[in-house]
Structure 1
Amino acid sequence: MIPAPFDYVAPSSVDEAVQALAAAGEDAKVLAGGQSLLPVLRMRLAAPSTVVDLGKIAELRGVREEEGTLVVGAMTTHYDVQRDPLVAEHAALVKEATDTVADPQVRHRGTFGGSIAHADPAGDLLAPVLALDGVLVIAGPGGRRTMPAAEFFQDYFTTALAPDELLVEVRLPKHTGWRAHYEKFNRVAQAWSMCAVAATVRTEGGVIEEARIALTNMGATPVRATAVERALLGAPANAETIRAAAAHAAEGTSPAPDGNSDVAYRQHLARVLTGRAITAAVG
């Protein structure tokens, strides 16, 4: 199908992009990698007055270290995140999850920030960012502000971004030396996950010193499995401990039933996949 008519703007800086959004009003859409937006436009499920293309803003690309934090630009592609040595060293959970995103074609075009700002609860990158206590940097007419990931995601496809604001970067506290795994269950290859678990742990002497666990597609937003984290804290990294901790994975979740599964099955998946993810992470 052919999209409805719209104005097209391709700014060369963040300030210009913010100005374009402010001028366009609430009907504007931001184009990052376009892997989610373009199909919606073609099916006319959205008819924005203006599309603001971020593709020419070089400052939004790349990964860097800054004061003990890993900073990922919003327009950094999944492909570049996968292969960045800083991500592999300091945020292994993000690399693990990015490896599972769609297919190579999508990973070459799709962007880290675009996926997060899209806020699809079945998206693979929201839960890792939540688990790692990521902080989102947002640019708007009043300047820049920061927000924890736990506050950024508000509902299905809904974030704390105002219509005239942009997500410009994601700041991740370094988890150097932590081991990680992203366990995903889907009906067919490359489909959205029915449920997935992002798990990263720090062990010492066979004991789990710290753990961060978050769930994908188990509610309107990604869900932090805090009960599982508490059960793992200070416990031996063995099968019995992991199984007991994973039994708490579905607590606080509210998955929506669909044509593939009901709530009880999805919660069962959360428990099973959590056990697998932690087991793989601790080796």
Structure 2
Amino acid sequence: MIPAAFDYAAPSTVDEAVRELVDAGEDAKVLGGGQSLLPVLRMRLATPTKLIDLGRIPELRGIREDGGALVIGAMTTHYDLQRDPLIDAHATLLGKATATVADPQVRHRGTFGGSLAHADPAGDLLAPVLAMDAELVVSGMDGRRTIPAAEFFVDLFTTALRPGEILVEVRVPKHTGWHAHYEKFNRVAQAWSMVAVAAAVHTEGGTITEARVGLTNMASVPVRARAVESALVGQPATAESVRAAAEHAAEGTDPAADSNADVEYRQHLAKVLTGRALTAALGS
């Protein structure tokens, strides 16, 4: 199908983009990499009056250090994030999750911020961002504000972004020296996750001192497997500890039933994949 007619703007600064969005009103859409929005436009599931393209704003791209955090521009592509040495050194979990996103073509065009703002519960980058206690910086007419990841994802395809606000960057605390893995289950290659697990652990002397576990597609928003994290801390980094902790993975979740899996199957997958993710992380 052919999209409905719309006006188009390509601002060169964040302030310009915010003004364009506010002036266009509630029927405007923001274009990042377009990997989620363009199919929706073609099927006319969305008919915006105006499209604000963020692709010409240089400050929205790139990765830099800022003290104990990495700052990732919202328009940084999955491909650039996956290849960046700062990610490899300080945010291994994020890099491993990014490598599983769709296919190379999508990773070259899709953007980090676009995936987060889209807030698809099956998206592969939401749970890692949540697990790493990231903060999302948004800009609006009243300036910038910072939203913890735990508060950013509100519901199915819904975020804490207010009308007229744009996601500009994500601040990810450094997890230098942590072991991490992202374990994903889908029926065919490049498909959305039926369930996935983002796991990161820190060990000292063979003992797990800290643990972060995020779950993909186990609720309308990404969720932390807090019971798993609690069960791991203070335990030896062994297969037995992992198996015992993974049994708690489904606690506090609310997965949906659909044509791919019912609730019980997704809860089973969460336990199995948590065990696999932790085992792979500790093995690394």
The TM-score bracket by the shorter chain reads over 0.9
C-alpha distance in 1 between matches for 2:37 and 2:168: 18
Matched residue, 1:143? 143
Matched residue, 1:232? 232
C-alpha distance in 2 between matches for 1:68 and 1:212: 17
Query: What SS does structure 2 have at the residue aligned with 1:183?
Result: strand
Matched residue, 2:26? 26
Query: What SS does structure 1 have at the residue aligned with 2:211?
Result: strand
Does residue 105 of structure 1 match 2:105? Answer: yes
Query: What SS does structure 2 have at the residue aligned with 1:187?
Result: coil
Matched residue, 1:63? 63
C-alpha distance in 2 between matches for 1:280 and 1:260: 26
1:206-249 CA-partner distances (Å, limit 9, x unpaired): 11010000000000000100000000001001111111100000
Query: What SS does structure 1 have at the residue aligned with 2:147?
Result: strand
Matched residue, 2:153? 153
Report the AA paired with residue 258 of structure 2: D
Report the AA paired with residue 114 of structure 1: G
Does residue 221 of structure 1 match 2:221? Answer: yes
Report the AA paired with residue 277 of structure 2: A
Matched residue, 1:165? 165
C-alpha distance in 2 between matches for 1:260 and 1:46: 25
C-alpha distance in 2 between matches for 1:199 and 1:22: 39
Tell me, yes or no, if the aligned pair for 1:199 and 1:212 is still in contact at 8 Å.
yes
Query: What SS does structure 2 have at the residue aligned with 1:190?
Result: coil
Report the AA paired with residue 277 of structure 1: A
TM-superposed CA distance for 1:163, in Å, is 2.1
Report the AA paired with residue 23 of structure 2: A
Report the AA paired with residue 94 of structure 1: L
Report the AA paired with residue 194 of structure 1: M
Matched residue, 1:6? 6
C-alpha distance in 2 between matches for 1:255 and 1:27: 31
Report the AA paired with residue 150 of structure 1: A
Query: What SS does structure 2 have at the residue aligned with 1:258?
Result: coil
Alignment of 1:132-281 (within 5 A): 132-281=132-281
Matched residue, 1:282? 282
Report the AA paired with residue 47 of structure 1: T
1:51-92 CA-partner distances (Å, limit 9, x unpaired): 000000000000000122100000000000000000110000
Provide runs of 4+ in structure 1 moved above 6 Å: none
1:105-162 CA-partner distances (Å, limit 9, x unpaired): 0000000000000000000000000000000000000000001000000000000001
Matched residue, 1:122? 122
Root-mean-square deviation (Å): 0.5
Report the AA paired with residue 49 of structure 2: S
Tell me, yes or no, if the aligned pair for 1:60 and 1:75 is still in contact at 8 Å.
yes
C-alpha distance in 1 between matches for 2:274 and 2:69: 27
Matched residue, 1:81? 81
TM-superposed CA distance for 1:205, in Å, is 1.2
C-alpha distance in 1 between matches for 2:41 and 2:26: 16
TM-score (norm 2): 0.99
C-alpha distance in 1 between matches for 2:87 and 2:72: 9
Does residue 39 of structure 1 match 2:39? Answer: yes
Gaps (5+ residues) in structure 2?
none
C-alpha distance in 2 between matches for 1:68 and 1:210: 17
C-alpha distance in 2 between matches for 1:232 and 1:75: 35
C-alpha distance in 2 between matches for 1:163 and 1:224: 28
Query: What SS does structure 2 have at the residue aligned with 1:11?
Result: coil
C-alpha distance in 2 between matches for 1:162 and 1:4: 25
Query: What SS does structure 1 have at the residue aligned with 2:51?
Result: strand
C-alpha distance in 1 between matches for 2:50 and 2:198: 36
Query: What SS does structure 1 have at the residue aligned with 2:64?
Result: strand
Matched residue, 1:49? 49
Between the aligned residues of both structures, percent identity stands at: 75
C-alpha distance in 1 between matches for 2:123 and 2:151: 17
Gaps (5+ residues) in structure 1?
none
